Structure formats: structure tokens, C-alpha cells
Chain A
């Protein structure tokens, strides 16, 4: 019995002593931190996605509090509203950016782009692209192994088993850019978000000569330049046999969609065209 009491006394005494020591040390070596960092962190969405360029929301909030000019900092997940709120709290000028959305620039579905071989390595686009050109005739297109979908923290990307291509859920996409970085083929791009999910873009990244590209995929951009000629806003440039629509200049008149001979330029979110108009070659809608 005596030994039990001693044990209890010694252990609790030791506990009390160490607690006191910890208390004193904590007091003495306390790190003064701006309390605003905590507040700003709470205002951020807390997704820790890294879309701002920092490792997580804490890093971003530290940068926001400490830098005088925060116009170069932007949280794509929280968007303009969140940034405005934080700027008002800190008394600084917030950056204003247009909302963006991820866009997959490849339409090489199993039907459009027949397989020429079978990939049997680890299920990762990064590995497949380091090993060879891909399982179709197109060495630029989507490999379909879903690195973008795995990297998406918001569940906005998924591989459609019917086409073998990733699809973006615009509601969930925050334009953090994780998929853009993850894609070894550089197919995914962040483009300006328009109302009603409207989009007009070249859904191809193939830089091969027209004949080679077309042979590999039915809906490849062949770099013919017809779209660039028809565009009234000079939004389209053709470089290395590939057209690109500058979303800052594009007014979504959709003349290029009609003109494109292969259907590489696609439109989404528009009401169906009138019968008098020429049918766009891709009848695909979301």
C-alpha cells in the first residue's frame, strides 16, 4: 500500500513540476504572430489546394498580411468575393480577376482516334508519357489515365469511360490549376468562364502536319487557317499547324465553329442553331 501512495505522489508531483516548466518556457519563448493571419486564414476557403502558388491557405494568409501590395496574390477557389472581403479587412487593394474554368483541349475519343496499341504499364499519364508517344496515332493527345482527375481536390474532373477523356464539372471547378500542372501532355488550359457555361475553343493540341494529324484523329486541328481568316476579332492564331483562340479577344460569335473542316473547334452551352444555319460538325454537347 505504501509503495502505491509513493508512486502516485511521485508521478503527480513530477507532472505538476513539468507542467510548470512547460508553462514558463511557453511564456518566455512565445512567438509573437500577427493575429490577423489567423483571421485571414479563416476567411480563405481552407481547401489547401495550392492554386495560389503557396503550399496551403496558411502560407497564403501570411503573404496577404505581410505584403503591402497584394494585387499579385489571388485565391482562385474563393474568387473575387473572398479577395474583396480580405482586402477590406486588411485595408489593401485586392486583385480583380475574371473567373476561370479548366478546359480539356482534346476530343480524341475512342471513336475519333482509334487505338494502335495497348498500354500495360503503371496507370499514370506521367509514366506513360515518359515511356512512349501514346496508345493512338496522335502523340499529343490525352492518354486517358486520369492524372488530372486524381490531382483534382474538388472532384471536378472525371474520366468518361465512354470516350476515355476527362470531363470538367464547371460547378465544382475552382480553376486552382492542379490539373493543368498534372497533365504531362499540357492539354488542360484555364479559360475565361462565361455565363451559362458557354465556351468556344480549339479542342486539339496536335502540332503535326495536317495530313498526319488527320490520319491519327478524325477531329484533329489540321492548321488550315480557315478559322483565323473568318474570325472578325483577330482572336485566332495558327502556329505549328495548330489554331488557338485567345479567350480575351474572342466574342463567341462562333463563325469559326462553322468554318472548321474537321470539327476541331467546339462550342458548348449555346442554344441549338436555327435550321437555316449550317450545322456545326460536332453535334457534341455537354
Chain B
């Protein structure tokens, strides 16, 4: 069975809590707060003002640049504020708050059964994806239309659907595969058409055997679609790791997947693209896994963007005995200090960790065991990057391929001395990336 060549770890997948819970529509809340920056790149620019009436699916903010995304209203009602609201980390960020009145959808959004014939051309698909505000829903929220615009001189050879969901606990993608498998594969076909390729690989880890079986059944008779079962290993869902696992090709240092002819899209993104292209439905809701080992009823919920996380938590069993809330999975998710913050396009899960497991272990000293080196899927030396960052030696950091770090957290996970390796490495990476950008800007 295939997997990526170096590094990686094998955490307990903890998917049992929510994997059998079918996707449930979460009730529309009384008010939603929709942040203007739900994607990587420039924040969107608000096009509505206080007092405006909006409908579900109406554009309320337009992309603030090429690498940016439109934002649509996820509810119908009245805009009550366009101001700064605290995000999940407590930082004030521009957002639009809407008081909900009914559930009226914008005209032109179709909500009928499965449609199978794609009528749009490749350019029209990309334009539609851009218009509907689709971003990568695996967590990184990179605007999808940018990924689908193949740069001049490059050629895509295959599309890889990232159905790995290697983050422990999360089951949102898994449920989509089981319940909306057909739509998902149709979405993949649309994406393939947009980038002009015929080969589609769907990478699924072997801890989801029923999803593999289900998708294989659906893919039968579809030309060019291959379901690739992968050996379970974190971080297989990393773009570069997935490409290596599926195609055996290595993305060069500092390069992009398109350099080896691959375009990777997440399961959630493929579904969103399908709905956008076939039904004109913008990205206004997503599947969120709400889970935890002590939670009363872990669920997979279809949530409107802008719904406060606290409402989800309340719905699934409440905060009692919970010491820490994480937005996303336990490996790459971020701790939440403000649980009233809204669900955004990139919120794949809300993980509730009980008090007794919430705190880190006491930090020791590096014993030079090189476990982190062994675990690093990018072949870096995390212990060294940690020291160099603390010393502020950024030239040396860059020479040690700091910019290649994917921030997967395998180093911190594997450290027997509980060193906060990734915390420091992230600081170093941010500084090195800043220097690289400044140099590039100076050249221009």
C-alpha cells in the first residue's frame, strides 16, 4: 500500500467518536458574524452597510485582490454592524454581523436533485469558482480559483482529490465521502475539466475502508478516476506528502505542486465546487465535526458560515469538564480563546479536550535523540531550527530550508522532552518568509 517516503507519525486516529454520526443540518442561529478574512491573502472588501437587507447567497464582500475571495451572506436578514469583532484567537478583525430573519435564498440558486451534465467551459468554471467564493476547505483556505489558474509554461497532468483526512478526530470529509460521494466525484470531474486533465486520483487512508469501498463502487465506469488507498500515516493530507504518496513525485524545495504536474483539492472543496458550478450556490455552509473524548454527543454538522462555535458546542453537549477548545484537528488546529467566534470557511472541526488532557507536559531539555528529525516529513532538522530561531540566526535558518516547513507538528508530537519545537519553528519560519518576500520585492 502506498504512502509518502520520509518521516511522519502514527497518532491514534480517535475518529470513533463522531464517525458514525450522519451529517445533520445545524439550525440557523439568531445572528451570524461573517469575518472578511476567511482565506489566505488580502481581506475582502465589504459591499454592504448597516441596515441593508441581505438574502442567503448574496455577495456581501468582494475579493480584495487576485489572491482573495468573495464572501456571501449565509443567512437572510438585516446587517446590524460592519465593524471589528474578536476572532477565535481574540484578535479584533473586520467582520459583518447579520441579524437573521427567515431563510430567503437569492434567486438563481438551485437546490434540486443531483445534476450530472457539466455545460460550462474550463474558463467559465474557474470564473464561477471565483465568483462563488470557493476556498480550500481542508483548513489552509487558499482561494481555489488561484490554484485552478495554471501559470504560463506549466502544465497540469493530474488532479488529486485529498480525501485523506489524516487529522485525528475529524470526520467531516469522511461523512461527505459516504453521504455525498457521487456529488464529490462529479465535483472532481468539474475540477479536472477546469485544469484540462483526464486523470483523477482520490487518495483515501486505509482507516476509512467503507469510504474506499463506496467511492470505488461509484468510480466504476468513470473514465480516469482512480481511488488510491493509502497506508495510514500523519501528515499524509499535506499537499506535498499526498503527491509523493500517490504519484511518487517530489515537489522541489520552494516549488509548488504544479511543478510536478499535480493539482490537489480537498473533498470539501470538490463538493463546494460541484454545488457552485451546478447550482450557483456560493460557499455559505460547510460540514464541521464537533467532537471530543468526553463530549455527550459528538456530531458532524452542516453549519452556516458565521455561526458562533459556542452554539455548536452547546448543541453537542456543552463545555462541562472541557479544558481546551481547538478549531480544527488536534495536530494543526489552533486553540480557541474566544468560543463565541464564528465558524469560517476553513473550520473543519471543533475539538473539545477534557481538562485533565488540556495542559502540556513540563518542558525538559533536548537530549539529542533526533526523534524529531526522524519524524519530520520534509526531511528537516527541527531541533536545529528551534535553536537557530531562539538565537535569531535567520541566515543560517534559511540555509537549513526553514521555508520548507509545513508546520505539521510531527516534531513536537515526537519529542520525548516535550519541547515546544513547532512554536519556535513557526516564529523562525515567519521571519524567514518575511525576508524572502522583502528580497523579492526589492528585486522588482
List residues of chain A with CB under 8 Å of any chain B CB.
116-117, 120-122, 124, 126-127, 130-135, 139, 208
A264 to B430, CA, bound (A): 34
Interface centre among B91, B337, B426 (most CB of A within 10 A): B337
Binds A, one of B36-44, B186-194, B202-210, B356-364: B356-364
How long is the Cα–Cα vector from A32 to B359 in the complex, in angstroms? 60
Can you report 7 A-B residue pairs in the complex whose CB atoms are below 8 A from each other?
A: A117-B337, A120-B324, A120-B358, A121-B423, A127-B423, A127-B427, A208-B92
The answer to whether A121 and B337 have CB atoms under 8 Å apart is no
The one of A121, A127, A130, A134 in contact with B90, judged by C-beta atoms closer than 8 angstroms, is A134
Contact B90 A133 (CB under 8 A): yes
A135 to B324 alpha-carbon distance, docked (Å): 13
- Closest B residue to A126 using CB positions: B427
Cβ of A131 and Cβ of B89 under 8 Å apart? yes
Determine the chain A residues whose CB is within 8 A of the CB of B178 once the complex forms.
Answer: none
Question: What does DSSP make chain B's interface, helix, strand, loop or mixed?
Answer: mixed
Contact for B89 among A122, A126, A127, A133, CB less than 8 A? A133
* A139 in contact with B426 given A120-B358, A121-B420, A122-B363 (CB within 8 Å): no
Q: Is B335 an interface residue (CB 8 A)?
A: yes
A127 to B425, CA, bound (A): 10
Pairs A-B, 9 closest by C-beta atoms: A133-B90, A132-B89, A122-B420, A122-B423, A117-B337, A133-B91, A127-B423, A132-B337, A120-B359
Residues of chain A with a CB closer than 8 A to B358's CB: 120
A131 near B334 (CB under 8 angstroms)? yes
Q: Given A133-B91, A139-B92, A208-B92: A127 and B334 within 8 A (CB)?
A: no
Q: How far is the CB of A275 from chain B (nearest CB, A)?
A: 43
B315 contacts the other chain (CB 8 A) = no
CA distance A52 to B90 in the complex (A): 37
- How far, in Å, is B424 (CB) from chain A's closest CB? 7
Q: Give the contacting residue for A132; candidates B91, B92, B324, B427; CB below 8 A.
A: B91
For A117, what are the chain B residues with a Cβ–Cβ distance below 8 Å?
337
Closest Cβ–Cβ distance, residue A220 to chain B (whole Å)? 15
- Contacting residues, chain B, for A127 (C-beta < 8 A): 420, 423-424, 427
CB proximity of B180 to chain A, nearest CB, Å: 34
Instruction: Given contacts A116-B90, A132-B334, list 10 more A-B pairs with CB under 8 A.
Output: A117-B337, A120-B359, A122-B363, A124-B423, A130-B426, A130-B430, A131-B89, A131-B334, A131-B335, A208-B92
- CB-nearest residue of chain A relative to B360? A120
Chain A residues, CB < 8 A from B424: 122, 127
The complex places the Cα of A208 from the Cα of B358 at a distance, in Å, of 31
**A133 / chain B contacts, CB cutoff of 8 Å:** 86, 89-92, 337
Most A CB within 10 A of own CB, among B358, B426, B427: B427
Cα–Cα distance between A133 and B93 once the two chains are bound (Å): 11
Q: How far is the CB of A150 from chain B (nearest CB, A)?
A: 11
Contacts of B334 in A (CB 8 A): 131-132
Residues of B within 8 A of A120 (CB): 324, 358-360
Chain B residues with Cβ below 8 Å from A124 are 423
Inter-chain contacts of A130 with B (CB < 8 A): 426-427, 430
Query: Is A132 within 8 A of B335, CB to CB?
Result: yes
List residues of chain B with CB within 8 A of the CB of A116: 90, 337
Q: Nearest chain-B residue to A208 (Cβ)?
A: B92
Chain A residues with CB below 8 A from B420, complex form: 121-122, 127
A20 to B114, CA, bound (A): 91
Interface residues of B in 326-361 (CB under 8 A from A): 334-335, 337, 358-360
In the bound complex, what is the Cα–Cα distance between A139 and B338 (angstroms)? Answer: 12
Q: How far is the CB of B433 from chain A (nearest CB, A)?
A: 13
**Set of chain A residues within 8 Å of B86, measured between Cβ atoms:** 133
> Which residue in chain B gives the minimum CB-CB distance to A138?
B90
Closest A-chain residue to B89, C-beta based? A132
Contact check, B423 vs A132: say whether CB atoms are below 8 A apart: no
Kindly report which residue of chain A lies nearest to residue B430, judged by CB atoms: A130
Which residue from chain A places its CB closest to the CB of B363 in the assembled complex? Answer: A122
Cβ distance B160 to chain A, nearest Cβ, rounded Å: 31
Contacts of B337 in A (CB 8 A): 116-117, 132-133, 135
Contact A132:B360 (CB < 8 A) given known A122-B424, A127-B424, A127-B427: no
Complex Cα spacing A117 to B430, Å: 25
B contact residues around A208 at 8 Å (CB): 92
The residues in B between 392 and 431 inclusive whose CB is less than 8 angstroms from any CB of A are 420, 423-424, 426-427, 430
Q: State in angstroms the CA–CA spacing of A134 and B334 once bound together.
A: 14
Chain A residues within an 8 Å CB radius of B89? 131-133
Min CB–CB distance B200 → chain A (angstroms): 38
- Which residues of B have CB within 8 Å of A121? 360, 420, 423
Give the CA-CA distance A133 to B87 in the complex, in Å.
9
Distance in angstroms from A114 CB to nearest chain B CB is 14
With a cutoff of 8 Å between Cβ atoms, the chain B residues found around residue A132 in the complex are 89-91, 334-335, 337
Give Cα A75–Cα B335 distance, bound, in whole angstroms: 44
**Smallest beta-carbon distance A205→chain B, Å:** 15
Q: Once the chains are docked, how many angstroms separate the CA of A116 from the CA of B337?
A: 8
- Closest Cβ of chain B to A274, distance in Å, is 43
Residue numbers in B under 8 Å from A126 (CB-CB): 427
Q: A126 vs B392: C-alpha distance in the bound complex, in angstroms?
A: 12
Q: Which of B422-444 contact A (CB under 8 A)?
A: 423-424, 426-427, 430
Bound complex: CA of A134 vs CA of B92, how far in Å?
Answer: 12
Bound-state CA distance A127–B90 (Å) is 15
Residues of A within 8 A of B430 (CB): 130
Bound-state Cα–Cα, A124 to B420, Å = 11
Q: How far is the CA of A130 from the CA of B428 in the complex (A)?
A: 11
Q: Taking the nearest CB of chain A, how far is it from the CB of B166, in angstroms? A: 23
Q: Which of B277-297 contact A (CB under 8 A)?
A: none
Chain A residues with Cβ below 8 Å from B90 are 116, 132-134, 139
Chain B nearest CB, measured from A181 CB (Å) = 11
